[in-house]
Amino acid sequence: MPPIDEETPLKNGTYAVVADEDDDEDSRDYAPLTQRIQDTIKMYWTLGFVAFGGPTAHIAIFQDHLVRVHEWIAEDQYLELFALCQGLPGPTSTQLLIGTASTHGGMLGGSIAFLMWSLPGFAVVTAASLYLYNIIDASRPPIWLVGVAPAAVALIFKAFYGFGKKLDDLGVAIAVFAACVSVLINNDEHIPGNSSQIVYPMLLIGGGSLTLFDCYSSKPIGTYEQSSSAESVEKAKADRKLAYKIGLGIYHGLFMFLLWLGILVGSITLVQRGCTNVYLEIFEIFFRVGSLVFGGGVVIVPMLQNEVVPKWMNDDQFFQGLALAQSLPGPFFNFAGFLGGTYAGFWGAVVANIGLMGPGFILIFAMLPFWINVRRYAWFKAVIKGLNASAIGLIGGSCVFLYAKSVRDAADAIVFVFCGALASFYSLGAPQTIATGALLGGIFAFFGLGQPVLTHEISGDFVEFEVFLSILCTGGLFMRS
């Protein structure tokens, strides 16, 4: 496929195609859709099997796999999509995966990547809900999962440092503030657990507003991009390539937004008017929750618990399903499949998963054409700098409480330090890092190594001291990368 006309946009926001057979690079960029879909499948098919650790770990794994190793997407585009997905309702990591896949394969490529990403975990949780709902004990995970959590957290630390070192002075200040707020609201017994639904969007809006104001001030604190005419032409050309590959215009984005709004209002209205169809009941609950949750991950847990316990299941079943969903690769929102399957069988699982995933899936496609059309403007770049800084700070905050949850003994700390060194200093890829953590953790668990043998009072102090040392050692390794 030849390149597109660099001057004339079509009515739907895309660009016309013109012939230019001499430009081999453009010919590769504008490969046929079938070839781009094949490339998308090759790039994304493994992630649904190896991306353990939850949404924050997924962000780090995607960055390593798509940006560093395979150069599938430019880092500035990745960070912009990450910041924008943080501000959308739905599962952030899943929306980021769809967005990055769409930059090559369009809506079809993004949809295929989404299916490959979500189906492996969905199949397991659905089978568990139907036959083996107690397959995994939350307090005793299977041996092959013991080292996965600390390895995933090591990748989060690496990503946080990699993102953070690119921030300017103002960005660092915004990130530090966001990280401190994140730690506070996730570890203070006086602050409700669902407060992140309000606080996180406020942090993102505040960060973006601050950098926008600073950009147009007489003496800006931050540094802002000043492109030459030649650079502007090249970036405009790159944006047109991106628009061509995504293939969505402004009108498509408006349609997707109205589709989401119509489904949300329509399903709520039908239920409130007394429609008693069990699948509509399931869909309305999960679509409504998916439309109201920001940041994804465990923030949906209290909302879902209020909806389904004790009506659909007891607390034991709910938390067993939660442990199973957390132990699997892929999106944590697959938890919906377990809840729906326990209540209404296989089709209940399907409807629940579609309901919870649906808002995020629709809204990412609604956002993409607007992102393409405004990303070149100075005001948008300034806003994105603040959004990125706040989002990076949220990753830093998650490092604190995720470390405390995943590194509980000396064996976990060794896996964390070892995998962090491999990923940061020896540039081991994310899938290989996760596999190494699983292998090393399994060996420790099998032989009973690295387990505390002291009394409870002494071992608590020992673990805290060991955690402190492991953070210092790992921090030194990450600094060298």
pLDDT of 381 over the 90 cut: no
**Gap between the Cα atoms of 336 and 313, Å rounded:** 13
Of 140, 46, 142, the residue nearest 97 (C-alpha): 46
Across the range 417-445, mean pLDDT stands at 85
pLDDT digits (tens, 9 = 90+) for 214-236: 988 888 888 887 655 555 666 67
Across the range 310-316, mean pLDDT stands at 80
Q: How confident is the model at residue 296 (pLDDT cuts 50, 70, 90)?
A: low
φ/ψ region of 297 (left if φ > 0, alpha if ψ in -120 to 50, else beta) reads left
Q: How confident is the model at residue 124 (pLDDT cuts 50, 70, 90)?
A: confident
pLDDT > 70 in the chain, percent: 79
**Gap between the Cα atoms of 256 and 239, Å rounded:** 21
Higher pLDDT, 440 or 276: 440
Q: What is the pLDDT of residue 227?
A: 56
The β-bridge partners of 294 are 89
pLDDT digits (tens, 9 = 90+) for 21-73: 444 445 546 778 889 999 999 999 999 988 877 787 898 889 889 998 888 99
Across the range 241-264, mean pLDDT stands at 91
pLDDT of 327 over the 60 cut: yes
pLDDT, averaged across the chain: 80
Most confident of 6-20, 77-91, 114-128: 114-128
Q: What is the pLDDT of residue 323?
A: 65
